[in-house]
Amino acid sequence: MSDLRIGIILGSTRPGRVGAQVAEWVLRHGTSRGDARYDLIDLADYDLPHLDEAVPAIRGEYAKDHTKRWASTIAEYDGYVFVTPEYNRSLPGPLKNAIDFVYAEWNNKAAGIVSYGGVVSGARAAEHLRLILGELQIADVRQGVLLSTVTDFENYTVFKEPAPWHVESLDLQLDQLVTWAGALRSVRAAAAA
């Protein structure tokens, strides 16, 4: 197995969230591919407050222990899969807040997006997230995975066995992610030299 590391960021923090089931599927499926080490990064474990750093993250002067802990987690990975629900046509506030907390740790990395929601399967959240990722110098891969709470969940709450086309989409996304995450290592090395 390569030493590439992919962090699966679970973007929903609310009690009763269905996102954990989706993130677990991404983790299981990624791990079964054997092409990288996949880990779950659960935002709920980080207990980040509303952004409380006096200096913008782009300057890299983190004062708070929770920021330093979050930064050291994000720094460990070559790429990410953002697992995001759609809240009011966008991504959840806690996910945006967590993204805003750090900067350099995101730069020149790659990301895929797995979204879920009602009528449009979280597509609007995914598209908003893509806008944000560009600002962080994260290269988001083309392939999305879009899950509907109406058809891919039982009673909007229990994630069903994913349909074959979702598994194909996830595989394609991870193929693209692993390729770009590996390639961007040399960009980071050049930037650090």
Does residue 144 touch ligand FMN according to CB under 6 A? no
When the beta carbons of 7 and 181 are compared against ligand FMN, the nearer one is 7
Residues 43-82: x where in contact with ligand FMN by CB under 6 A, - otherwise, as a string: ----------------------------------------
Question: How close are the terminal C-alpha atoms of the chain, in Å?
Answer: 27
Minimum gap (Å) between residue 91 Cβ and ligand FMN:
10
When the beta carbons of 36 and 95 are compared against ligand FMN, the nearer one is 95
Please report the DSSP string for 167-192 in residue order.
HHHHHHHHHHHHHHHHHHHHHHHHHH
Does residue 8 touch ligand FMN according to CB under 6 A? no
Among residues 88, 154, 158, 164, the one that binds ligand FMN under rule CB under 6 A: 88
- Please state, in angstroms and rounded to a whole number, the distance separating the CA atoms of residues 74 and 7: 8
Among residues 7, 30, 79, 85, the one that binds ligand FMN under rule CB under 6 A: 85
Does residue 117 touch ligand FMN according to CB under 6 A? yes
- Please state, in angstroms and rounded to a whole number, the distance separating the CA atoms of residues 39 and 13: 17
- Please state, in angstroms and rounded to a whole number, the distance separating the CA atoms of residues 193 and 187: 10
Comparing CA positions, the residue from 145, 110, 141 lying closest to residue 125 is: 145
- Please state, in angstroms and rounded to a whole number, the distance separating the CA atoms of residues 41 and 81: 10
Torsional class of 99: left (φ above 0), alpha (ψ -120 to 50), beta (otherwise) = alpha
Does residue 150 touch ligand FMN according to CB under 6 A? no
Does residue 14 touch ligand FMN according to CB under 6 A? yes
When the beta carbons of 32 and 88 are compared against ligand FMN, the nearer one is 88
Interface contacts to ligand FMN, rule CB under 6 A:
12, 14, 17-19, 85-89, 117-119, 149
